[in-house]
């Protein structure tokens, strides 16, 4: 199970942090403020993406519960362990950004950049688990 967890979170974490850095450099290329510099904004985007990614890594820990025979033999519990917490949090955060009306500022792009790699990683590893390793503990 640990190899599925690693594949579900480590590569998406790296991709989302690097993509956030790249987009933040582009988004803040002409940033001018009395208080903050362009570099500071890019650094803050990096820190936020890193903490957000670590939080999603923590929320993906229930994947390891699939080792338990009771969870492994129940399709619904397996699915909930894999997707429940991380996708629920991603949805709640995305809805919060939509409802707060900050999408015009490009925040929704940051949300997409930070969530899509994790969602893809979860779907990919769940498919791998279903095809290859349902019997392993």
Note the pLDDT of residue 101: 72
> Which of 53 and 36 is assigned the larger pLDDT?
53
Quickly list DSSP for 113-124.
HHHHHHHHHHHH
Note the pLDDT of residue 104: 53
Q: Could you read off the pLDDT of 89-127 as tens digits, one per residue? A: 999 998 888 888 755 567 788 899 999 999 999 999 999
Residues 45 and 107: beta-carbon distance below 8 Å = no
> Which of 32 and 54 is assigned the larger pLDDT?
54
- Report, as an integer, the average pLDDT of 17-38: 87
Note the pLDDT of residue 49: 95
- The mean predicted confidence, pLDDT, of the chain is 89
Q: How far apart are the first and last CA of the chain?
A: 7
CA distance 82 to 79: 5
Note the pLDDT of residue 136: 55
Note the pLDDT of residue 33: 78
CA distance 12 to 24: 18
């Amino acid at each position: 199970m640990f190899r599925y967890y690693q594949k579900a979170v480590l590569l998406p974490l790296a991709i989302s942090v690097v993509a956030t850095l790249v987009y933040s450099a582009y988004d803040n290329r002409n940033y001018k403020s009395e208080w903050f510099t362009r570099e500071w904004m890019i650094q803050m985007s990096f820190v936020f993406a890193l903490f957000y990614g670590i939080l999603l890594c923590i929320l993906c820990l229930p994947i390891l519960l699939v080792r338990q025979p009771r969870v492994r033999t129940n399709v619904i519990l397996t699915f909930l362990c894999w997707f429940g917490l991380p996708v629920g949090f991603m949805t709640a955060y995305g809805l919060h950004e939509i409802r707060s009306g900050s999408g015009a500022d490009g925040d929704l792009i940051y949300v997409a950049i930070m969530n899509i790699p994790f969602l893809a990683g979860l779907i990919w590893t769940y498919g791998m688990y279903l095809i290859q390793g349902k019997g392993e503990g």
